[in-house]
Structure 1
């Protein structure tokens, strides 16, 4: 891994796979978020692979739900019958003594297409009743992005699913208290020789030192990792920093140490800066050769709000902060206490960027909002309609207490080039803090009408 740690230049997204066919999908510019009277094309590079490609390549053949008949560890996804409403729920807590039977969230969903099949991978965080204080990362697979196969224990072979990455056991590391995924990319470099590239996972690592926060946290539980329900305003806030791990199969991960003395990629800001307490949820997007961008969130104690910041890098490992790009909404807004867990998609046709994020209300409740920027660096503007997805209400449904941790995926291309469907994966919070992963869908380009998944319609 020394060679990988030495990566320093000329990273490229979606490396030399057998074949890459960018598909043009429609996505709203900010103007259309307001007026809904025009669309602009967004190019998302789906992973189109030749069926005759080498099946031992790092990408091909490893996120494959068709492996399940040969693998007794795979489990079909159970949905609890005890919930009053499961509308939108596509991935529930693990069963029995599974590693993820207490909490799940942070879905990072990737869709891979070949000439003869469709494959989906979802990396997510979970924790168990046996070890309730520590987050780990797992992998589930699917043939359609709806019905998922999972594993209750750690992976052993490169066709297994289940627990793939746990907290570090190095006492000095920044991730001894847990890990949560934020982005998984397939990258190549002139420093790494591989037939198909390697997976790069950007993740949040937590360590148990509490943060001394003198800001206004009244009525909110601002624990970090963020807890599921509003609660004790005096709860400790755990430190967190962004990290990087690399894998050749998406299952067996090796940490890559950053320049920080704990191995993290970035440090918190100096005293008095907006991100001086912690950094979390580092989502990275590829803008161009030698230009990667990391969106992350922190808690601005002086202003009493969560906020989203931006950093840039040439090599994906050494980062330069550019500052805060999105703070709290106005008084009475669904995100009056700030924005967190950003997920950004670039419109490659006109250079615009669209962000979905988790908004925090004054009562601590979470909803999902959307913003847009011409260049992804500044000038982020919220969609004027408010949140694109809210909790299901107080009827006892699985996500009745809040929704967040969004992830957006485009599916299909219509006759006119427009996206046939956009899928919004998210974490839902129910009664007593019970969590699950849900799906909301919008058809065409109307991003103001995400609706919870209710099943296939023919």
Structure 2
């Protein structure tokens, strides 16, 4: 059975119990999600402008507690644009009026959690979605975090915003559909592929004729799951930099290079907060396995980014480390139902000698270019010294012929203005959001993870100069 064409009106959904669900995490009774309908034409929305005179906003901790069979499926993508009125920005808040603080914190929109929060040690992997409601503009940010109490395990959390800049977060697990905070922990099943850590890769709103419920939308979360299985590298193998999986910007571990097995997983939710794992074909519950011994992706599968292309065609972009080429590379898999996948091979690998991504490309984020056509991929490039930058590539069909842009230079690099910048050590894990506000108000937002001194991480924002996705500047405030 093939996919129906993408539509704004959702199809009737089937009982969630018709698909095998494992490791249900706080799954509540079915709740009504916002109805989705076609957008109003030429909405006038809040637009970011570069303004060096304003200092950035550093997100403060929220005072609000808890603010966590082989049949084909006919799946329908539900658009993220909802009928709405003009968005109303909330007042801009600055960290400091001093120019030095403004420069140091430029671009930072989400810092580490405070106190004993679930994300007080490290954060990253932003997955940002914008929804235009009938009376509001809503933003969701799923990201991974670690705490000092559990430093070897990554979990997934949710923060929300009315403008994509000022985020409300939580210190603990969610309880209701209105909470924010920790939403997904590693599995407790000993045989699972995700018993050690879980990291978000992509979130889509889709419906399926086999998933019926009294709701218009179901969130599909594709994520990376890590087990405690430590992999061995080939003898005499030396990547030239610290190779870890999962990667740690801040680590107290004495092991410089530890590679744990990771595979892609899928979970579903009615509200984006309470998730039910969907068991894949692999014996561990993963969607599919890594490659055979001599395949380029034999070590692990990581960072699944899934794009709905059309009828019967979902595409997953993921990365692994190719031990033969001695670099990270990005591959693609295709699916008719979003659950059963066929791998097609590598589509992008490291640049030439001296390139900012000489040691490979990873953490791809692929989106359609609504204005210019084709597909745009933002990715994390790894330099010969292991330093991370963000690059961009384009393709006409999203399958092959990926071409680097910006003369094969990064579109965003680590902050080099002063040693104290919050992202002075590297930037990566990009997530593109196309700001289609009608008319000439067209802009790209690039959310990313930044790493500073001592491995301190945060989530930052850079904005494009209009529709040009080859030039980004760190966000410095609203120009009203």
Note whether the superposition's TM-score is higher than 0.5: yes
| Maintained 8 Å contact 1:77/1:148 | no
* Offset, 1:443: 2.9
1:205 counterpart (197, 202, 225): 225
Could you say if the C-alpha distance between residues 137 and 403 of structure 1 is closer, same or farther in structure 2, counting changes exceeding 3 Å? same
1:3 counterpart (11, 18, 36): 18
Work out whether 1:304 is the aligned partner of 2:322: no
Could you say if the C-alpha distance between residues 186 and 77 of structure 1 is closer, same or farther in structure 2, counting changes exceeding 3 Å? farther
* Offset, 1:448: 2.5
* Offset, 1:254: 0.5
| Maintained 8 Å contact 2:156/2:182 | yes
**Separation in 2 of the partners of 1:222 and 1:20?**
46
What is aligned with 1:189? 208
**Separation in 2 of the partners of 1:128 and 1:255?**
23
| Maintained 8 Å contact 1:221/1:233 | no
1:105 counterpart (124, 129, 134): 124
What is aligned with 1:401? 425
1:33-182 equivalent positions in 2, closer than 5 A: 45-49=79-83, 85-182=104-201
Work out whether 1:423 is the aligned partner of 2:442: no
Aligned length: 407
**Separation in 2 of the partners of 1:368 and 1:401?**
13
Could you say if the C-alpha distance between residues 18 and 304 of structure 1 is closer, same or farther in structure 2, counting changes exceeding 3 Å? closer
SS in 2 for 1:432: helix
TM-score in terms of structure 1 length: 0.83
**Separation in 2 of the partners of 1:78 and 1:92?**
12
What is aligned with 1:276? 298
1:219 counterpart (234, 240, 250): 240
RMSD (CA atoms): 2.8
**Separation in 2 of the partners of 1:410 and 1:350?**
12
Could you say if the C-alpha distance between residues 336 and 232 of structure 1 is closer, same or farther in structure 2, counting changes exceeding 3 Å? farther
For structure 1, the 5+ residue unaligned runs are 7-14, 26-43, 52-64, 67-75
What is aligned with 1:353? 375
**Separation in 2 of the partners of 1:216 and 1:448?**
35
1:250-289 equivalent positions in 2, closer than 5 A: 250-289=272-311
| Maintained 8 Å contact 1:18/1:50 | no
What is aligned with 1:344? 366
**Separation in 2 of the partners of 1:222 and 1:168?**
25
* Offset, 1:86: 0.7
What is aligned with 1:392? 415
**Separation in 2 of the partners of 1:236 and 1:120?**
35
Select between 447-456 and 152-161 the one with higher mean Cα deviation. Answer: 447-456
| Maintained 8 Å contact 1:293/1:313 | yes
* Offset, 1:96: 0.3
Work out whether 1:442 is the aligned partner of 2:461: no
Select between 329-338 and 382-391 the one with higher mean Cα deviation. Answer: 382-391
| Maintained 8 Å contact 2:112/2:121 | yes
| Maintained 8 Å contact 2:392/2:470 | no
**Separation in 2 of the partners of 1:126 and 1:24?**
37
Deviations 1:257-301 (A, max 9, x none): 000000000100011100000000000000012110000000001
* Offset, 1:151: 0.4
**Separation in 1 of the partners of 2:34 and 2:190?**
38
Could you say if the C-alpha distance between residues 302 and 229 of structure 1 is closer, same or farther in structure 2, counting changes exceeding 3 Å? farther
| Maintained 8 Å contact 1:77/1:92 | no
Deviations 1:31-58 (A, max 9, x none): xxxxxxxxxxxxx94421479xxxxxxx
For structure 2, the 5+ residue unaligned runs are 1-15, 22-32, 44-77
Could you say if the C-alpha distance between residues 234 and 143 of structure 1 is closer, same or farther in structure 2, counting changes exceeding 3 Å? closer
**Separation in 1 of the partners of 2:95 and 2:224?**
27
**Separation in 2 of the partners of 1:77 and 1:232?**
38
What is aligned with 2:389? 367
Could you say if the C-alpha distance between residues 23 and 187 of structure 1 is closer, same or farther in structure 2, counting changes exceeding 3 Å? farther
| Maintained 8 Å contact 1:77/1:150 | no
